[in-house]
């Protein structure tokens, strides 16, 4: 089962507003990834984070790797209708080289943008 | 090669039938992963390959499930004697493992419905 807690579960926002969501873990990770998934499609990678404290942007998206290595957050600024979708966090355990590339996922945050 | 490709996109089958899905990873990627995603949840890890070797299988993968990657390129996931509980989105992902910093890229998924 999933070990990541992602919140909020859903968000209903107006176009132009900012969105913030986060993930927390009971164990440390060495990589955090954020994905967006549209209905009936596979997840699309948005941002990758590799160092504690790292802050990375991709257009209107900004994500941070928490200092404790147990959390991460994603912000979307000035939301637009095409931001609608489900956003997932994913974390990679640093335990062994076999675990590299194997990710645990949160349950997702559903974002709905209204005009 | 523009990304991970999965076939078919959709599959409807009767309970008890066998089904097989195919995944073609990004060509230079050495790791290939299978995940399963049910409604309202994030992807859950099933199994993965390093080249042609299957390195790990989740306990989610019952004896009715088998995956292969015979030449270290494409992979197949077979489900025998399908059950209604097997209905889900089956996602394939690939990554290039060269260092601790890695990213997983997903295909569009195969939506399985068992009736």
pLDDT of the residue at A96 = 64
Residue (of B49, B74, B70) closest to B61 by Cα position:
B49
Nearest chain B CA: its distance from A48 CA (Å): 7
Question: Under an 8 A CB cutoff, do B40 and A30 touch?
Answer: no
Backbone φ, ψ for residue B4 (5° rounding): -80, 135
Alpha-carbon distance values, A14 to A60, A80, A115 (Å): 16, 8, 6
Which residues of chain B are within 8 Å of residue A34 when distances are taken between CB atoms?
none
Question: Under an 8 A CB cutoff, do B56 and A98 touch?
Answer: yes
List strand residue ranges (DSSP E) for B1-115, in order.
5-7, 10-13, 19-24, 31-37, 44-50, 53-57, 65-68, 75-79, 88-95, 105-106, 110-114
A11-33 pLDDT per residue, tens: 999 999 999 999 999 989 989 99
Question: Under an 8 A CB cutoff, do A108 and B41 touch?
Answer: yes
Taking the Cβ of residue B51 and every Cβ of chain A, the question of whether any pair is shorter than 8 Å is answered with: no
Which residues of chain A are within 8 Å of residue B55 when distances are taken between CB atoms?
98
Residue B13, pLDDT > 60, answer yes
A42-101 pLDDT per residue, tens: 999 999 999 999 999 999 999 999 999 999 999 999 999 999 999 999 998 776 666 666
């Amino acid at each position: 089962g999933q070990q990541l807690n992602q919140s909020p579960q859903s968000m209903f926002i107006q176009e132009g507003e900012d969105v913030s969501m986060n993930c927390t873990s009971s164990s440390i990770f060495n990589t955090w990834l954020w994905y967006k998934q549209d209905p009936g499609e596979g997840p699309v990678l948005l941002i990758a984070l590799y160092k504690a404290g790292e802050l990375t942007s991709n257009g209107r998206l900004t994500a941070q790797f928490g200092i404790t290595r147990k959390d991460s957050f994603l912000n979307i600024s000035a939301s637009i209708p095409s931001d609608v979708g489900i956003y997932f966090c994913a974390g990679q355990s640093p335990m062994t080289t076999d675990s590299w590339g194997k990710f645990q996922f949160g349950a997702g945050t559903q974002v709905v943008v209204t005009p | 090669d523009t990304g991970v490709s999965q076939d078919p996109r959709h599959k409807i089958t009767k309970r008890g039938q066998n089904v097989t899905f195919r995944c073609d990873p990004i060509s230079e990627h050495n790791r290939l992963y299978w995940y399963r995603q049910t409604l309202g949840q994030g992807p859950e890890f099933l199994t993965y390959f390093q080249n042609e070797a299957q390195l790990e299988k989740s306990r989610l993968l019952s004896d009715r499930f088998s995956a292969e990657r015979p030449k270290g390129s494409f992979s197949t996931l077979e489900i025998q004697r399908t059950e209604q509980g097997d209905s889900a989105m089956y996602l394939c992902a690939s990554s290039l493992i060269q260092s601790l910093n890695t990213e997983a890229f997903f295909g569009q998924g195969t939506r399985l419905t068992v009736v």
